[in-house]
Amino acid sequence: MAQISLTFPDGNSREFDAGVTPGEVAASISKSLQKKAISATVDGAHWDLQWPIDSDASIAIHTMQDDAQALELIRHDLAHIMARAVQEIWPDVKVTIGPVIENGWYYDFDRTEPFTPEDLGAIEKKMREIIAARDPVKTEVWDRDRAIAHYEASGENYKVELVQAIPDDGQPIRMYWHGDWQDLCRGPHLQHTGQVPADAFKLMSVAGAYWRGDSSRPMLQRIYGVAFKNRDDLKAHLHMLEEAAKRDHRKLGREMDLFHMQEEAPGQVFWHPNGWSIYTTLQDYMRRMQTRGGYVEVNTPQVVDRKLWEASGHWEKYQENMFIVEVDEEHAREKAINALKPMNCPCHVQVFNQGLKSYRDLPLRMAEFGACNRYEPSGALHGIMRVRGFTQDDAHIFCEEGQIESETKRFIEFLSKVYGDLGFDSFKVKFSDRPDVRAGADDVWDRAEHALQSATEAAGWSFELNPGEGAFYGPKLEFVLTDAIGRDWQCGTLQVDFVLPERLDATYIGKDGAKHRPVMLHRAVLGSFERFIGILIEEHAGKLPFWLAPRQVVVASITSDADDYVNEVVETLRAKGIRAEADTRNEKINYKVREHSVGKVPVILAIGNREVEERTVSVRRLGENRTETKSLDEIAADLTLEATAPDLR
């Protein structure tokens, strides 16, 4: 029999018979590894222990200690186990597909009756019975005709269609059995159902889903599940979901009266006074920070002729995300075609191109709170986190190639200060290199990627590679925040662009008296105000830092005799720049406290007859069950300091 060479992670190689399986390789190493093995990586591909290896390859054997592989297999096997459980309870149900997704899986079913919460409980019970049975998992490779005949005989018409859609190019058609239940699947899978942890999964919800995503095809029922390696990880995830529901910015937006969305303006935000207060306070802070950082602020048009977007490359690479505006210009033979700007960069180059620029003018840091519009599918819209109309804290740094390193370091320091002021003390950096669809020659991309990578390392930052996720005009750094419940949010970016200055003919006069192309660094810290405010609301569960809170203080009367003093306290605080309001309604103080606590007012000052006589206030802070008494002058001084933005302290 032919021999093949398998190379292990330690660099050592061994000879095996061609057709050896990873399970047999594990057994040849030790009985212990044979028992613990769950899958393998063969030449970079995740491999079932039962699949034969026919040629020389690298190999790594995985156990349950390898989180990525273990979780993929656990979730994939649970999708099959769930489908088996459903068909054991309701034999007439038809199965379709069940892929692994983030944190779990889903499976789509064709069933006449809708699944109920009680049904999910019955399915979970049956799944645990299947896991306890420790049924073996087997796999075979079938030819197309045999697979189609099998599914036609069993009445599984969806599986017939899936087999027919598999390219007839020698790609294997794999069949898997979990016990006696069979499914079409690419694999890999665990070796028996008992390897799935029975206490670390949960069925979460049911949703409708069209077959193959086509609204003209049957509506199926999709059951979602989550799964982890152990019960503690599952409990932590479920707790995170509970926290996320409590922190949902849409729910808090209603309770705090911040904004609303409506059908007549999909993906656009209607800011209420409270929400706009957060917005403008944050914008004022960013404007001061950018001024100190050496930025000049500009403002550019919302509607721009397609000619500019064609010249910049956006018309070719980004048109599907743009809102097109056609105008019947007077005396024109054809309609003028314009677009709402989806980004600010081409317009900033137009500002740069006005007048002659010298190397002495560089770096030129040009900022704009630029209102942009991008088409997002309606199904992707999500509160103020994913919208069609938004404002970026956008800026472009025009510099010489030799200034990329210093400007990168300067920007990361700037971004670190802003994030720290806003309560995020750490962040991760991702490096995104060239995408498949891009503008510019490969040698230009080589220079841009090398320059950004070297600059990041020189600035003292390590990064995670994010392959193929760069902008179409250049590589980028992505700055990722982690919130209070462990979720990651990509916010800031820095992109190196050699392409756009070339396409839009931006030049400066160098020391040698000749014209040169500037490098354009695209950068944002918050990303968009809308999304970042949503992140802040969820990070703080609505309990925003005092300086950002839209309603900072409510002064509430305990008795109507205190109304005059309540108004005096409000005026005193407002004179010091504190957002204070009076509540002199004829309601009990406990009712007022509850109502304003739901509205996330940070400080409630209660005033009764004693406070009037002593010219004091009773101070109650959000989330605290105690109160303290302070003089009016004392509380005014305390709150004035708290109301001061971090950059002004």
Give the catalytic positions in this structure. Answer: 345, 374, 392, 394, 396, 476, 522
Per DSSP, the residues of 214-274 read -TTSPEEEEEEEEE-SSHHHHHHHHHHHHHHHHH-HHHHHHHTT-EE--TTSTT--EE-HH
Mapped onto helix, strand or coil, the DSSP state of residue 414 is helix
Residue 341 burial (CB count, 10 A): 24
User: How far, in Å, CA of 238 to CA of 62, rounded?
Assistant: 27
User: How far, in Å, CA of 531 to CA of 491, rounded?
Assistant: 9
Helix (H) or strand (E) holding 605: strand 603-607
Would you give the distance in Å from CA 504 to the centre of its chain? 32
User: How far, in Å, CA of 353 to CA of 396, rounded?
Assistant: 13
Helix (H) or strand (E) holding 77: helix 67-89
Q: CA neighbours within 13 Å on the CB side: how many for 176?
A: 26
Two tokens at 535?
Answer: 């992140």
Phi, psi of 480 (to 5 degrees): -115, 120
End-to-end CA, the chain: 79
424: Cβ contacts below 8 Å, ≥ 6 apart: 481, 482, 539
Helices and strands: H and E segment counts in the chain: 20, 33
User: How far, in Å, CA of 109 to CA of 117, rounded?
Assistant: 16
User: How far, in Å, CA of 123 to CA of 83, rounded?
Assistant: 9
Q: Which residues of 532-544 are buried (b: 16+ CB within 10 A; e: fewer)?
A: bbbbbbbbbbbbb
